[in-house]
Structure 1
Amino acid sequence: MTATDTEVRARTAIGHDAPRVDAVAKVTGAGQFAGDLKLHGMAYGRLLRSPYAHARIVGIDTNRAAALPGVIAVMTGDDVPAADPYYGHALKDRPILAIDRVRFAGEPVVAVAAEDPAIADEAVTLIDIIYEEMPTAVTIAAALADDAPHLHDVVNVRAGLFHGLGEIHLEPGNVCYHHAFARGDMDAVFAAADVVIAGEYTFPAVYQYSLEPHTTIAQWTGADDLTVWSSCQHPFLVRAELADLYALPVGAVRVVVPYLGGGFGSKSYTKMEPITSALARVAGRPVRIANSIDEAMVTTRRHGMKAFMRTAATRDGRLLAREVRAWFDTGAYADNGPRVVATGADAAPGPYRWEAVRVDAWGVYTNTSPAGSYRAFGASHLQWCGELQVDEIGRRCGLDALQMRERNLLSRGESVRPGGKPLDADLIGDIRKVAASLNWESPKPAGIVGRGMSVGLLAAGAHPVSTAAVRMEADGGVVLLVSSTEVGQGARTVFGQIVAEELALPLDRVRVLGGDTRVTPYDRSTGASRSTTIAGLAVQRAAADVRAQILAIGARLFDLPETALEIRAASVWHEGESVPYRDVLKAHFGMVGGELIGHGEVRPEKGSGSYAEGPVFWEVCIGGAEVVVDPETGRVTVTKAVSVADVGKAINPRLVEAQEMGGAMQGIGNALHEEMLFDETGTLLNATLYEYHVPTIADMPHTFASNIVENEDGPGPYGAKGVGEGALAGVAAAIATALADAGVIIDELPATPERVWRALRMHDDRNDEDSTGSAANERATGGAASWG
C-alpha cells in the first residue's frame, strides 16, 4: 500500500454518521456565541433608526442623550471616524450611519454607547431628529416609473472590493445591476412553436430567520489595531472591508467568529461590524451591538421578485425556447444584489436543452430594507415559475411531469451555459428517484391531491480559494485550523472526519477550532455549499501533508521505503510492527516536543476562478411533493416531501439528511407561509413571530424522504460535492407544481390559504365555462403577459 493512494485504503472515518463534535457544548450551554461574550469595560450600543422610508435629515440634536449619566458616546453620520464612510462588498453605496438622508424605514441614524443596555435604550429616546419626507419608491414598479425618486447617484457609484461581476455601466435611475444573455433565434423559434406558455410571477421578500440575530463586539487597541467578535459567515471578507473603511492594513484587523446560531445568508458579508467598530472607536472602549429580531429583519432579507416568463415547445413535448425578464428588489442598498441577479438569471432557463434562450435580469433599488444572500438564492427565485410552465406544456401535450423531464433534461457532460462548466450530475436518474419516492404511478388518495416534482441547478462553490493547516502535536493528537464557519451545518464535524480519515485517527483526537483571522488561515467565505467541497479539500490536503511527513520519518525509522509502510490506528506500520505517532515525533525531534504542520491550499486550477468561468460544481435542486388542499379553507398540507442530495460522497450521511430536511422545511415556508409585508410607506408590518409565519412542527410533512446519491463525481474530498441549498429550491418548486397538478394554479408565492382558496374558485369557474363550451384557457400559468 502506497503513502498517497487513499482511494484503495478502506475508509474508516468518512461515510459514517459520526456524532457532532460541537453537540455537547451546544446542548449544555458551554458553547459561546457572540452574545455570551463580555469584555472588561465593555459598553452597550443601541441604534436610533429612521421611521421614514425616504427623508432628508434636516437636523439632529443629541445633547440630551449625551448628557444622560452613563452615556459614553453618541455618534451620527457626521461623526463616523472612518477614512471612507461608505461600504458595500459589491457597490460602495451604504453609509455606516445615514448621511444627509435615509433610504428605508429602519435605517440606522444615530448610535449610542452606554454603561448598560437600559441607559442606552433611554438615551436613544432623548435624541431629536427633524426629517423632511421625500417621495418613496417602495415597490419595483414604483422604482422603475418615469417619475420615481432616484435613491442613489448610480452613474458615479463605486465598485466594492468583491463586486466580481465585470465593469459597472449604469444609467441614471434605480437599477443597480443588469445581467443579460441570449443565444439562438428567439423570434423564429417562438413563431414556429406549437405550444407557447406565458405568465407573470411574484416572489416575496423573506427573512432568513436564524435563531441568533446579528451580534458584534468591537475593540480598538490604540488607533491602528481592531478586533471584532461577530456572528458572521465570511470573516476574511469582513476583515478586508473593515480595513478598507479605516485605511488599515488587513493584518491590523482581526475578526473572531464564535459559534453561530444559524445564518442562511443573513450573516454573509458585512452587516453590523462597521457601525460597532466605529462606535467603539468614538467611545474609546469595547462596544457590543446586538440586534433584536425586528432590527435583524431590517438589516437583511431575501430579494423579492417580479418576473415574466414564456416557454415554447413542439406538440410532442420537446422544449424549444425560453424567454425571461426578472426584476429583483434589492432594497435601499445593493448588498449582494448584483450576484443574486446574476445567479438568478443564469438559473432561469432551467437545466433543459434549448434552441434559443433570452434572459434579462435587473437589480432594482427600492425604499425598503436591504436584501442580500439567502439560502439557494437565484435558484429559488425562478425555478418554480419555469417548472410550472414545463408541467403545463406536458398537460397540453399529453405527457406527465416525469415524461417531460426525461425527454428534455440535459445529460451529464452537456453544456449548461456557454463558457461555463458542463453538467456534472445525472439529472434524469435523480428525478426518477423522486418519482419512486412519491409512488408516482400509484393512484392518488381521495380529495384534492396533487403530486409535483421540480428540477433546477445552482451555481455553487463561490470563488474556489481556501487554505487549511493541520498541526500534529507531540502526543499524536491533531489541531485543525480552518476558517470555514460552523453555522450549524456540521462543518467542524465533517472537517474532523476528513482529518481522521487521512491520518487514521479516532475523531476525538482531532480538535477543530473556530475562525480567527489571526490564527486560522484564509478561507474565502462560508456559503454557496462550499465548505465541504472547497475548504474540505484544503483540509484533506493539509492532513495528507502531515501524513506524508509521518511516512517520511517512518521510512527512516524502519530503514524501508515509504511504499513498504502504511498508516493505521494512529501508528506507522510495517507488516506486524508499529510505531505510534507520539514515538514517531519523539524520534524525529529527539525529545517529547515539536510538531508537524501540514498545509493545504485550494485555488483556481485554470483561469481566475471567476463566476463566468465556473461554477466549481452544479448543485442539484431537485424535489418532490404530495399535497392535500382543503377546499373550504384553502389550507395546504404537505403529506410528503422528497429531496435528492446528489453529493458525490456523503462524508457524514446523517448530516446530509439533516441539511436536506432543513432545506425542505425552508422550502415549505417559502412556498406556503413566509412573506415580508411592507405597507405603502415602506414600513415592515410583520416583524415578529406573531405575524411572520416560520414553519413549525405542525407544518412538517407527514413523510420526508431524502435520496442520497453518491457517484464520487464532485471536485471535493473523496469526490464530494456540497449540499444544503438544493432542497429548498427543489421542494418549494415541487409544492407549486403539486398544487397545479391538483388544479390550483398559483402565480404568486407564498400559496397562503386565501390565495389557494381564490385559485380554487377560479379553477371551478373555468371548469364551468369549459362545460358550457368555452375552452378559453389563456391563464395556464399566470395569464397573458403585460407586466414590465
Structure 2
Amino acid sequence: MDIIGVSVPRIDAIDKVTGRAAYVGDLEVSGMLHGKILRSPLPHALITGIDTSEALKLPGVTAVLTRGDLEGLDPFYGAVVRDRPFIATDKVRYQGEPVAAAVAVDLATAEEALDLIQVEYEELPVVSDTLEALSGTGETVHDTNLCRESGYEWGDVADAFAKADHVFEDTFTFPMVYHYAMEPHAVIADYSNQGITVWSTAQHPFLVREDLARMFGFQLQQVRVVVPYLGGGYGSKSYTKLEPLVVALSKVAGRPVRVALTVEEAFKTIRRHSARCTVKTGVMNDGKFVARECLIHLDTGAYADNGPLVADRAAERVMGAYHWDNVKIKSYAVYTNSTPAGSFRSIGAPQAAWASESQVDIIADALGLDPLEIRLKNLVIKGEEFRPDRRPLDADPAAGLRLAAQAIGMNLDREPEDQDSELPIKIGRGIGCNLSGVGSSPTSTAIVRLHVDGTVTVFAGTTEIGQGSRGVLAQVASQELQVPLDQVGMVSSDTGIVPYDRSTGSSRSTTMMGLAVQGAAKEVKEQLLELGALHFDCPEEELSVNDGVVLRGTESVAYGTLIEEEFGGRAGELLGRGYVTPRMNNGRLRQGPAFWEVGIAAAQIEVDTDTGAIRIPHYVSVADVGVAINPQQCEGQDEGASMQGLGHTLFEEMVYEDGQLLNPNMVDYKVPTFADLPGDLESMMIENHDGPGPFGAKGLGEGGIVSAAPSVANALFQATGVRIKDLPLTPERVWRAIRDAKE
C-alpha cells in the first residue's frame, strides 16, 4: 500500500463546502457576551484622560476595559520584544491602537457603548519615514526608533569594488501590504480563578498559551488554547495578537467574551513590512559577481512583533541564490507610527528578492548579457557552503531556473522578441530566483494511537490554516503504519489535548511535524511487530505490515487481533510517541536552516503602453519539494503563494497619509481575484527525494511568493525598456514611466 505521492482529497473538504466546519465566529459558549474595541483616531498621542461612566450606564453593558484595569497584570507581549500592550497605557503609537473595550449582551450595544467613552489626547508629532526616524533629530515612537540592527559582513567589499570592472547601485521600495486572510482575527475567552480557556484563530496556540500564562499569572496547565477551523493566516495570526485583550475582557466581565474583528480592524492589527533597499554590486565584464553591499530599512510600525527576525532574514535573503566572496549588509527594523508589521509568508524575502533580482537584470542589460546566462554563471550549487554557519545548499536552483525559463520560451538560444512598433501591446519575458532558509524551530511532538478496531488517531499540534496539514500528516501515518487513509483520524490544535508543537509557519509543518508523526507511527509499528512475533512465534525480521495486517509469508493477522491478544478481549490500544528536537539524528536539525526553499518564477506578460495595464498570459513557479506527499495540495500551495506575490506586484498597497491609513477596506485595497489570474498559471514540482522530512519531503508554500515581483518587472523592462523600482506596478505607475521615458 502506497499513499505517498497520491493526490487524495482533503479530509476537511466536505465540512468546509457544506458549511459544517465551525469557526470561532460560529461557536457558542454558555453565558457568552460580546466585546468591541475603541481604537485611537490619532497615530501618536499621549492619553491624558479616559471617562467610561456614561458607557457603563448603558443598559446591557457589563464592563468596560481601560488601562485602569491592568493592576496585577503584565500587559506587554511581543514575538521578540515585549513592547506592545494589549490596551494602550501611557500613549497611543498608531491609528487604530486599542484604548478601551466594551462588553455587552450583544454587538449592537457594545458598539453603542464605544460612542459613550470619552478619551482625551495630547497629540504628538508623527513618525512616518524610516530614514527620518533614524536621523536622531525628530520624535521617537519608543525610547528609540531603532527596533533592530542586523547584517552580514565577510571579505573586503571596498577592495572588491575597487577591482571590479563595474559597480551598480540602485534603490528599490516595497509597499506595506495586508495579509487579507478570509477570516479576520476572532477570539472567545473564558477566564476564571482556576484558569483560562481560549478559542482562537491562532497559528501558534502553544506560544499563545505561554504568553497568557505569563501575563495573567497562571501555570501552563491552567491555560488551554483551542483552534477550531481557521480561515487562513499567512503569518497574520502568528504569535499572540488579540487573545490577551479578550481574556482581560472576560476577567472584568466575569463571563466568557467573544471579540471578532472586522476587516478594517484586522488591517490595523498586523501587516507586512514595507522596505527601502539600496543594493550595490560589483561585477566583472563577464558578468561574474564579486561583491555586494546592501542597506535595508524595514518599517516595522508601532511595535516590534516579529520585526527583528524579519530584519535578520531580509539581510540574508538579499544575497539571493548567488555566491559571494565579499559581502557587507546592514538591515534595520525601524519603528514608525503605523500598524505593527510582523510575519507574512516568507518573511523578508519578497522585499529582498524584489531589489536583488531586479538589479541582476539591470546588470545583465548593461553588460549585454542574457538574464538567464548571468544567473547561471553566479548561482550557488547543490552542496555548497555558501553562508557562514548555515547548512550547505540542499537544492539545485540552476535546474529549477532552466525549467522555468524553458516553460515561457526564455532559453539561451531564443530569438529576440519581435515587437510591432505600431501596436500598443508589447510582450516581455522575465525571471527571478531566490533562496530562503526555512523550517524554523526543530521542536515538534506527536502521538499516534492504534485502536482495537485497527483505526488510527493522530494527535498533532500543527494548526490547519488552509495549507492541508491535516491531510498530509494523515497520509504520513497511513503510509508508515500501512493503514487505509480513511481509517486515520486527526486531532489538532488544542493545547489541552495534543502534544507540543512550536509553531505553524516557515514551511515547517510537513518537515517537522511530519517527522514527529512518522516517528510516533514507527513506534506503534515496532510494537505491532513485537506482538506479531509473539503471535507467530518467530523473529520480527520475518514480519512485515500491509493494509492493516502483520504478514508472515502467506499468513496474516489483523492489527486489532494483536491488540486483543495483548490486552485480553476487545480492549486496549497501542500508543506511539514522536519527537523532533535539535539533537535528533545526530544533530541533523541543530544547524539551520532545516532546508533551503527555492523561489523561482518566470513570467510572460503583455503590457498596454496606452494604459499601463499588465496582463500575464503565462506564469510559471518552480518548487523543490523533495517528495510531493500530495501533489495536488503542493500545487495549490504554490499557486496560492504565486497569486499573493502577483498581488503585491500589481496593485496591493496600504496607503498612509500623516499617520492615517486611507484604504483599510475591500473597496480601496485591491487583492487578486479570478479575473487577475494568469492565462496559464503553471506550478512545476522538482522531486529529488532529498528532503529532511518524512519520505524525503520538504515543506513548501512560501517560495512561490518570493520572485513574483522581479519576474514581472523584468518582463516589463524587456517589453518596454522601462525599469520601475517601486512597487506596485499599477497601470498609472507603468503608464507614467513609459510616458516619461519617451520625453
Q: Same fold (TM over 0.5)?
A: yes
Aligned residue in 1 for 2:517: 539
Give the drift of 1:251: 1.4
The alignment partner of 2:459 has SS state of: strand
Aligned residue in 2 for 1:186: 157
Q: 2:688 pairs with 711, 727, 738, which one?
A: 711
Aligned residue in 1 for 2:536: 558
Q: Deviations over 1:189-230 (max 9, x none)?
A: 11111122111111101000000000000002x313101100
8 Å CA contact 2:77–2:85 kept in 1: the answer is yes
Aligned residue in 2 for 1:514: 492
Verify: 1:358 aligned to 2:328, yes or no.
yes
8 Å CA contact 2:483–2:547 kept in 1: the answer is yes
The alignment partner of 1:26 has SS state of: helix
CA distance in 1, matches of 2:418, 2:4: 41
CA distance in 2, matches of 1:352, 1:369: 34
- Comparing 290-299 with 612-621, which one deviates more in the overlay? 612-621
Verify: 1:755 aligned to 2:733, yes or no.
yes
Q: Where do 1:586-665 residues align within 5 Å?
A: 586-605=564-583, 613-665=591-643
CA distance in 2, matches of 1:388, 1:539: 41
The alignment partner of 1:450 has SS state of: strand
CA distance in 1, matches of 2:585, 2:56: 55
Give the drift of 1:657: 0.4
Give the drift of 1:130: 0.9
8 Å CA contact 2:583–2:590 kept in 1: the answer is no
Q: Deviations over 1:141-187 (max 9, x none)?
A: 3322333211113xxxxxxxxxxxxxxxxxxx200110022111111
CA distance in 2, matches of 1:561, 1:732: 59
Question: Structure 1: which 5+ residue stretches go unaligned?
Answer: 1-10, 154-172, 766-788
Aligned residue in 2 for 1:275: 245
Q: 1:112 pairs with 102, 119, 122, which one?
A: 102
Alpha-carbon spacing, 1:589–1:257, altered in 2? closer, same or farther (3 Å) = same
8 Å CA contact 1:463–1:609 kept in 2: the answer is no
- Comparing 437-446 with 686-695, which one deviates more in the overlay? 437-446
8 Å CA contact 1:47–1:111 kept in 2: the answer is yes
The alignment partner of 2:660 has SS state of: coil
Amino acid at match of 1:700: L
The alignment partner of 1:553 has SS state of: helix
Amino acid at match of 1:99: T
Amino acid at match of 1:257: V
Q: Where do 1:215-254 residues align within 5 Å?
A: 215-220=186-191, 222-254=192-224
Verify: 1:56 aligned to 2:34, yes or no.
no
Q: Deviations over 1:504-534 (max 9, x none)?
A: 1111100011210010000000000000011
Amino acid at match of 1:102: V
Amino acid at match of 1:203: F
Q: Where do 1:43-192 residues align within 5 Å?
A: 43-80=33-70, 82-153=72-143, 173-192=144-163
CA distance in 1, matches of 2:589, 2:429: 35
Give the drift of 1:739: 1.6
CA distance in 2, matches of 1:530, 1:409: 25
Question: Structure 2: which 5+ residue stretches go unaligned?
Answer: 420-424
Alpha-carbon spacing, 1:601–1:611, altered in 2? closer, same or farther (3 Å) = closer
Give the drift of 1:379: 1.0
Q: Deviations over 1:590-636 (max 9, x none)?
A: 11010111000001028999999411111111111111111011011
Verify: 1:462 aligned to 2:440, yes or no.
yes
Q: Deviations over 1:339-373 (max 9, x none)?
A: 01101111111121122111000110000010010
CA distance in 2, matches of 1:66, 1:523: 42
RMSD between aligned alpha carbons? 1.5
CA distance in 2, matches of 1:457, 1:651: 22
Q: Where do 1:243-642 residues align within 5 Å?
A: 243-441=213-411, 442-443=414-415, 444=417, 446=419, 447-605=425-583, 613-642=591-620
8 Å CA contact 1:351–1:416 kept in 2: the answer is no
Amino acid at match of 2:615: T
The alignment partner of 1:325 has SS state of: strand
Amino acid at match of 1:91: V
The alignment partner of 2:437 has SS state of: strand
Amino acid at match of 2:230: L
Alpha-carbon spacing, 1:565–1:277, altered in 2? closer, same or farther (3 Å) = same
Verify: 1:195 aligned to 2:185, yes or no.
no
The alignment partner of 2:492 has SS state of: coil
CA distance in 2, matches of 1:241, 1:223: 17
CA distance in 2, matches of 1:325, 1:440: 32
8 Å CA contact 1:208–1:302 kept in 2: the answer is yes
Give the drift of 1:535: 0.6
CA distance in 1, matches of 2:536, 2:496: 39
Give the drift of 1:92: 1.1
The alignment partner of 1:567 has SS state of: strand
CA distance in 1, matches of 2:374, 2:146: 37
8 Å CA contact 1:450–1:627 kept in 2: the answer is yes
Give the drift of 1:764: 2.8
CA distance in 2, matches of 1:535, 1:569: 24
- The count of residues paired between Structure 1 and Structure 2 equals 734
Give the drift of 1:741: 2.0
The alignment partner of 2:657 has SS state of: coil
The alignment partner of 1:513 has SS state of: strand
Q: Deviations over 1:551-578 (max 9, x none)?
A: 1101100111111111111111111111
| TM-score, reference length from structure 1 | 0.91
CA distance in 2, matches of 1:607, 1:122: 59
CA distance in 2, matches of 1:706, 1:433: 11
Deviating above 6 A after TM superposition, structure 1's stretches of 4 or more consecutive aligned residues are 606-612
Aligned residue in 2 for 1:164: none
The alignment partner of 2:395 has SS state of: coil
8 Å CA contact 1:81–1:282 kept in 2: the answer is no
8 Å CA contact 2:452–2:563 kept in 1: the answer is yes
8 Å CA contact 1:625–1:735 kept in 2: the answer is yes
CA distance in 2, matches of 1:139, 1:690: 26
CA distance in 1, matches of 2:588, 2:175: 29
- Comparing 177-186 with 433-442, which one deviates more in the overlay? 433-442
CA distance in 2, matches of 1:597, 1:666: 41
Aligned residue in 1 for 2:422: none
Aligned residue in 1 for 2:183: 212
8 Å CA contact 2:88–2:98 kept in 1: the answer is yes
Q: Deviations over 1:665-687 (max 9, x none)?
A: 0011011110000112x111111
Aligned residue in 2 for 1:689: 666
Alpha-carbon spacing, 1:81–1:649, altered in 2? closer, same or farther (3 Å) = farther
Verify: 1:16 aligned to 2:6, yes or no.
yes
Give the drift of 1:82: 4.8
CA distance in 2, matches of 1:313, 1:51: 50
CA distance in 2, matches of 1:610, 1:31: 38
Amino acid at match of 2:303: Y
Identity of aligned residues (%): 47
CA distance in 2, matches of 1:706, 1:488: 18
